[in-house]
Structure 1
């Protein structure tokens, strides 16, 4: 006989300090929304959307637009639905819990893929081809993609994520070149600055760090401490080495 387990409300919080799930400032996000809203898109597709903050802001800026966010994380999707309801957008957006691989959700006038190309393919080249398939002619893709700001050393790679390799990312010039080869022209090229990275990485763990300081004897404290310490060590290793490019891409006819 099994006994149902009641939901736990004493566990560490998750990402409550984050507005965007990436190194993105309010000022940069506002500029992106203005740029993407200019052509008055009617449809927005957010690949690997998380809670879809940028998509929701774009829908607010373009009242006739409708949006779909696709992700496999149920908690993030529910956060997006709550936010949409609070902003009066629930009737114009869908948060779908499904894989983006071979998705039939496009083509859309704007496709957002912010730090989520792996949702389409583990290889960037076919992921870019998928983005070209998913965007309507005359539309825009906003791609957020990691790149090496400088070539990582073997010691740096050893301190990053498990199995980190110099082939995990390209430099910025090579990354932009791949987008052109996939059928795009880069309308806008920008990269996250150090302040955006520090805001993101600190906020990524801040709520849990505060919880851990107050709950050192909790049953999950050891596991939580190990996870936090490992992530912080990785960040402080790739700090200044790994960059984030935000590329606004126009599909070629």
Structure 2
């Protein structure tokens, strides 16, 4: 199983690829899309979970997503067609870093996919290039709730990989952005996300006991669960920021 397949399976019961509950997602979208007729771009959209939630109840919204995982986009396209949402959502297969749409967007979204651009600030730089005048960015990023200890670092993180919450916001404001709203994921949201991620993947593996992919899924689920419970639980936080460009 490659990384994309593992992620697709693991997010089967928690399609938002970040520690956010459904009501948190709804509240963020309500803040980010006040009119309901905006143009939205999701950089690293995966199977289009944010796009689907954004267009529901907003018939005037037009949404686009780009992702390198063509198989995930195919599944999303089929799902949108079944649910009558295909006319509002356009998906593009390709590298989000190289995406060059003809139009600009009122909202550019990247939650749980900043690694595709090399981190927070490079993601914001990419988003800036796609924004219409007065547009906003909705971006999700990790931060240290507390200083990472040895167990967190052994789970595969670097001590300087993230800043604290204040330091993260300072980076954003120094880069020319003003936060107009934010949501800090709770420990309960983290736990629900991680139990769903590891549990869904493990269940998939158990259903395929004796098969190579089943064994690989169980191994990946156990490694992720151990890294979370013995490593970064309560140390790694997640903030989703709604940003507008600061006037020069």
TM over 0.5: yes
Please say if 1:112 is aligned against 2:109: yes
Is 1:57 the equivalent of 2:71?
no
1:39 CA displacement: 3.5
Compute the TM-score of the two structures, normalised by the length of structure 1: 0.86
Paired position in structure 1 for 2:235: 241
Contact 2:51 2:89 in 1 (8 A): no
- Shift in CA distance, 62/220, structure 1 to aligned 2, threshold 3 Å: closer
CA shift for structure 1 position 13: 4.8
The answer to whether the 8 A contact 2:77-2:91 is kept is yes
CA contact 2:114–2:123 (8 Å) conserved in 1: yes
Q: 1:199 aligns with which of 192, 195, 198?
A: 192
**1:203 deviation in Å?**
1.3
Alignment of 1:93 with 2:89, yes or no, is: yes
Query: What do residues 5-54 of structure 1 show as CA deviations (whole Å, max 9, x unaligned)?
Result: xxxxxxx9553212311111111111112112214443100011111212
Cα deviation code 1:174-227 (max 9, x no counterpart)? 111121122211001221111111111111132332233344322334333321
Question: How far 1:82 sits from its partner (Å)?
Answer: 2.5
Larger Rg: 1
> What's the offset of the Cα at 1:62?
2.5
* Number of equivalenced pairs: 238
Contact kept? 2:44, 2:96, Cα under 8 Å: yes
Structure 1, unmatched stretches of 5+, are 1-11
**1-side partners of 2:85 and 2:59: how far apart?**
9
- Residues 45, 171 of structure 1: CA spacing in aligned structure 2 closer, same or farther, 3 A cutoff? same
Which structure 2 residue ranges, 5 or more long, are not aligned? 1-7
Change (3 A) 1:15 1:40: closer
Using structure 2 for the length normalisation, give the TM-score.
Answer: 0.88
1:218 to 206, 211, 216: 211
In structure 2, the CA distance between the partners of 1:204 and 1:27, relative to structure 1 (3 Å rule), is same
Counterpart in the other structure of 1:180? 173
SS in 1 for 2:96: coil
The one of 129, 132, 135 equivalent to 2:125 is 129
Question: How far apart, in 1, do the equivalents of 2:49 and 2:68 lie?
Answer: 16
